[in-house]
Amino acid sequence: MKVIAYQTSPVLLDLKANLEDIVTKIHYAKEKGAQLSVFPELALTGYFVGQRYHEVAIRMDSSEIKELTQATKGTAAVVGFIEESPSMNFYNSALVAVDGEILFAYRKLNLPNYGVFEERKFFASGKQVPVFMLKDFTIAVFICNDLWHPSLPYLGVVQKADIFLTLFNSSQGSMGREFSNIESWGIINKFYPRIFGIYNICVNRVGEEAWKEKRSVLAAETATTRTGDAVSSSLQEEVFHFWGGSEIVNPYGKTIVKAPLYEPDMISAEISRNLLRQKRILLPYLRDDDPYFTHRELQRILFDKPRFDVS
């Protein structure tokens, strides 16, 4: 199966421009013989949408979703967007469309709410880790912070996932100066293929966006303004650079192809069932895994009274 991953640079809050670009790319991928196109997290909207998130949110019955879905006739695509549910909840989602039909929208489960990340202020959390079948492969979708919580990828492989689609928006410096996002994602992207024996199609975005924070300043610090106010406020703005580096990793944890840093790009690879089979014969890490044991232990930990083994 041929897969194409698009490392895009979405225009912040410009749904129309981003939609046109994505539809064009899906058609191009189909012309190149790709059975699947994958786009980054929030590819339709950009990341730092702030309190304007609802302006670019779309429902599953919207004209935009219909246009995206129609573009997948004869192929498939996974696209990050902001979803509005019928009950007016909002989600950081990924549309999964195959051959002109909507399969589902995966909703991000672990929403960060620290530093520059404000997703939990605006979005509701998903409730499931669904998988889908495409060309005899079982595929699980994850969005960014979901991969930082190992229980979620485990739920994917318990459902016999062969491929992870990892959609994310990672920017330089967003976790502080002491932490390298590029290095950390390089480890994460390869860890799950090595342990679980799966392909990992990792799609990050590029481009720049400004994050604005309103900070309170004590009157003692602003006394020279003579406003008479007890508290003043200022708007702090910082520009973040999304670094790209999208890659497709094989079941041995080896990078097949990698996009450059900071530039839009398109990468592709052939996904092989033979290589999956080879890895699982050679290193059958999951052969003896017992999800029923995991379930029993979670039941005990969450619901049973603490018991101490003194033997």
Catalytic sites, residue numbers: 41, 108, 144
How far apart, in whole angstroms, are the C-alpha atoms of residue 137 and residue 164?
A: 11
What strands lie across the sheet with 131-134, from one edge to the other? 131-134, 137-143, 163-167, 199-203, 247-249, 255-258
The DSSP secondary-structure symbol of 260 reads P
Determine the straight-line distance between the first and last CA of the chain, rounded to whole angstroms. 54
| Cβ count within 10 A of residue 243 | 23
| DSSP H or E run through 19 | helix 15-31
Q: Vertex 279, ends 295 and 34: CA angle to 5°?
A: 100
| DSSP H or E run through 251 | none
Are the C-beta atoms of residues 36 and 98 closer than 8 Å to each other?
no
Q: Tell me, rounded to whole angstroms, the distance of Cα 238 from its chain centroid.
A: 23
Strands 231-243 and 206-218, bridge-based pairing: antiparallel
Strands 131-134 and 101-107, bridge-based pairing: unpaired
Residues 6+ apart with CB under 8 A from 294: 154
How far apart, in whole angstroms, are the C-alpha atoms of residue 238 and residue 90?
A: 26
Q: Vertex 155, ends 120 and 200: CA angle to 5°?
A: 85
How far apart, in whole angstroms, are the C-alpha atoms of residue 94 and residue 79?
A: 5
How far apart, in whole angstroms, are the C-alpha atoms of residue 78 and residue 4?
A: 11
**Secondary structure class of 67 (helix, strand, coil):** helix
